[in-house]
C-alpha cells in the first residue's frame, strides 16, 4: 500500500458517469435497460437533436448532437425521451455526496464528472479498493454506472477514465505512459479539439508520442502557451490541484479606457466599445479562455459610475459577440449624459479545455425552448427558397450545441 501512496506525489481520481442522462432514465425505468435510448429535447419534432444516448444506441451509430431524424433512420427502434433536468440534478447531487464521503477534496467539473484527491486516504484502503467501493456504491445506491481513472495528476486521471467504459477502473502511472498513453491519436488527448488537432497535423504531430517529441519552440509559436501546456501534460506533468472551491471561482478579463474628452457622441462611443471588445477578445484568446457573462462600466462626467451585466446561455470569445452584448447593455442603461470612461469585462471565465465536452443540460434546455422558432424559419425557408428573415443575432451559433456548463448547483451535495 505504501507504493500506492507516495510520500511526495499525489493519488488523483477522475470519476466519470457513463451515458449519464440516459443512465438516469434507465434507473427510473428499468424496462429501458439494454435498449437503445436517447435523450432529445423534442421527440415529436424533426428538428430535435440528440443530447446523449445509451451504449446500445451508440453501437447503432447514434452520437451526441446528431439530428433526431438521422438518428431514427440509423436506429428505427430508438427510444427517444425528453430531458428531465430535475432528475439529473438530483442524481448528480447524490453522486457527489458519495464521493465526498471518501474525502473532502472533491472538485466537480460538470454535472456528471469530478476529481478527487485521495492522497491522505491510506486508512481507507488502496486506491483500487477505494475506486471499487465508490463504483459499487454508486451502482447499488443510484443504479448508475461510472468509470474511474486513477493517476498521479488530474490530466492523467481524466485520460485514464476514458480508457475503459462503461464501468471501468483504469490506473495510469507515469511509467506506463509510453505503452498506454503515447500511442493514442492526438485527437483523443483531452484538451485537443478539431482546430488544435488540425494545426498539430501540419506539424506532423499525429499521436501523443509525436507531441512529446515535438519542437517546443514551434509548438509555442503555433499554439501559444497552450502548446507548452499540452506538451507538458503529454509528458505526464500537470501540477493543477484538486480544488473543491473551483466551482466558485470568479474570474474575469476586461478592458477600460478614459475618453480624451467627455462625450455624448454615439459614433465615438461605439468606436470605443469596438476597441474594448477587440482588446477583450485578444486577451481571452491569449489565455485560451471563454466567458459566460458580460459587464459594462459607465463613468459619467460627474464621476458617477454604474455597472450593468448580463449572464449568457453560452460561452463567448469573439469580438462581435462581446461587442453586441456590451453595446446593447449600454443602450439600455445610458442616461444620455456625457461619458468620461467606458469598460467591458467578460466574467465567468473558463479555459476552453476545461469546459465540459458533452452538451450542457442548461444550454440544451434553452435550445429545446427555441426549437419551434427554428422549425418555423426552416418551413418558411423551404417555402420561399431562402430565409425570408434577417437571421436573429446569434441564432446560427446558438443552433450549434455548445460545450458550455453552468456550475451554480454543483456544491449542493455539501448541504
Q: How confident is the model at residue 393, as a pLDDT? A: 39
CA-based Rg of the chain, rounded to a whole angstrom?
Answer: 24
Q: pLDDT tens across 378-406, in order?
A: 555 555 555 555 444 333 333 333 333 44
**pLDDT of 64 strictly over 90:** no
Mean pLDDT value of segment 105-119:
94
Q: Is 16 annotated as a binding residue?
A: yes
Tell me the pLDDT band of 288, cut-offs 50, 70 and 90: confident
Task: Tell me the C-alpha distance between 293 and 315, whole Å.
Answer: 8
Task: Assess whether 113 carries a catalytic annotation.
Answer: yes
What does the pLDDT average to over 95-122?
94
Query: Would you call the peptide bond into 166 cis, given omega within 30 degrees of 0 as the criterion?
Result: yes
Give me the pLDDT at residue 396, please.
Answer: 36
How sure is the predictor about 18, in pLDDT bands with cuts at 50, 70 and 90? very high
Q: What is the pLDDT of residues 303-315, one digit of tens each?
A: 888 999 999 988 8
**Measured between alpha carbons, how far is 413 from 415 in angstroms, rounded to an integer?**
5
| pLDDT (average), residues 132-161 | 98
Split at pLDDT 50, 70, 90, the class of 376 is: low
In the prediction, which pLDDT does 10 show?
94
User: Cell numbers 498539430 label which residue?
Assistant: 200
78 C-beta neighbours (distance < 10 Å), count: 23
Domains of the chain, CATH where assigned? 184-234 (1.10.150.20), 252-348 (3.30.1490.100)
Judged against a pLDDT cut of 70, whether residue 368 lies above it is answered with no
411 belongs to an annotated ligand binding site: no
Cell of 222: 503555433
Count CA atoms closer than 13 A to 34's CA, side-chain side. 2
| pLDDT on residue 357 | 42
Per-residue pLDDT at 195: 87
* Distance of alpha carbon 215 from alpha carbon 4, whole angstroms: 34
Best CA proximity match to 366, nearest among 355, 374, 357: 374
Look at residue 73 and give its three-state secondary structure.
Answer: helix
The pTM score is 0.66
Average pLDDT of the residues in 87-92: 94
Catalytic residue from among 25, 56, 113, 367: 113
Using CB atoms within 10 A of its CB, is residue 344 exposed (0-12), middle (13-18) or buried (19+)?
A: buried
Over range 92-99, report the average pLDDT.
96
What is the band of 164 on the pLDDT scale with cuts at 50, 70, 90? very high
Average pLDDT over all residues of the chain:
86
Q: Is the predicted pLDDT of residue 25 greater than 90, yes or no? A: yes
pLDDT in tens, 315-350: 899 999 999 999 999 999 999 999 999 999 999 888
Q: How far apart are CA 126 and CA 12, in angstroms?
A: 12
Amino acid at each position: 500500500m505504501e507504493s500506492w501512496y507516495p510520500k511526495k506525489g499525489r493519488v488523483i481520481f477522475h470519476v466519470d458517469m457513463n451515458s449519464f442522462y440516459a443512465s438516469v432514465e434507465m434507473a427510473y425505468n428499468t424496462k429501458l435497460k439494454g435498449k437503445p435510448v436517447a435523450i432529445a429535447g423534442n421527440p415529436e419534432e424533426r428538428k430535435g437533436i440528440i443530447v446523449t444516448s445509451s451504449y446500445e444506441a451508440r453501437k447503432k451509430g447514434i452520437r451526441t448532437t446528431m439530428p433526431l431524424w438521422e438518428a431514427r433512420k440509423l436506429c428505427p427502434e430508438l427510444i427517444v425521451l425528453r430531458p428531465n433536468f430535475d432528475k439529473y440534478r438530483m442524481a448528480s447531487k447524490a453522486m457527489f455526496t458519495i464521493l465526498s464521503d471518501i474525502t473532502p477534496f472533491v472538485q466537480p467539473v460538470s454535472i456528471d464528472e469530478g476529481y478527487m484527491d485521495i492522497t491522505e486516504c491510506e486508512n481507507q484502503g488502496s486506491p483500487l479498493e477505494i475506486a471499487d467501493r465508490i463504483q459499487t456504491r454508486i451502482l447499488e445506491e443510484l443504479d448508475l454506472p461510472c468509470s474511474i481513472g486513477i493517476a498521479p495528476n488530474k490530466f492523467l486521471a481524466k485520460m485514464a477514465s476514458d480508457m475503459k467504459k462503461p464501468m471501468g477502473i483504469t490506473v495510469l502511472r507515469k511509467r506506463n505512459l509510453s505503452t498506454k498513453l503515447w500511442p493514442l491519436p492526438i485527437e483523443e488527448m483531452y484538451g485537443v479539439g478539431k482546430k488544435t488537432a488540425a494545426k498539430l497535423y501540419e506539424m506532423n504531430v499525429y499521436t501523443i508520442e509525436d507531441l512529446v517529441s515535438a519542437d517546443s519552440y514551434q509548438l509555442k509559436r503555433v499554439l501559444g502557451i497552450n502548446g507548452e501546456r499540452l506538451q507538458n501534460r503529454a509528458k505526464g506533468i500537470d501540477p493543477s490541484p484538486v480544488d473543491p472551491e473551483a466551482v466558485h471561482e470568479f474570474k474575469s478579463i476586461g478592458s477600460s479606457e478614459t475618453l480624451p474628452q467627455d462625450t455624448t457622441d454615439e459614433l465615438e462611443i461605439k468606436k470605443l466599445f469596438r476597441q474594448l471588445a477587440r482588446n477583450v477578445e485578444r486577451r481571452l484568446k491569449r489565455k485560451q479562455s471563454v466567458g459566460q457573462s458580460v459587464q459594462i462600466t459607465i463613468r459619467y462626467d460627474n464621476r458617477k459610475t454604474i455597472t450593468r451585466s448580463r449572464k449568457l446561455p453560452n460561452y463567448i470569445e469573439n469580438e462581435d459577440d462581446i461587442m453586441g452584448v456590451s453595446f446593447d447593455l449600454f443602450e439600455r442603461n445610458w442616461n444620455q449624459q456625457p461619458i468620461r470612461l467606458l469598460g467591458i469585462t467578460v466574467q465567468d471565465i473558463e479555459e476552453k479545455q476545461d469546459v465540459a465536452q458533452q452538451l450542457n443540460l442548461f444550454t440544451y434546455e434553452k435550445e429545446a425552448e427555441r426549437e419551434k422558432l427554428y422549425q418555423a424559419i426552416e418551413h418558411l425557408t423551404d417555402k420561399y427558397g431562402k430565409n425570408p428573415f434577417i437571421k436573429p443575432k446569434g441564432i446560427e451559433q446558438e443552433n450549434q450545441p455548445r460545450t458550455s456548463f453552468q456550475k451554480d448547483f454543483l456544491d449542493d451535495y455539501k448541504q
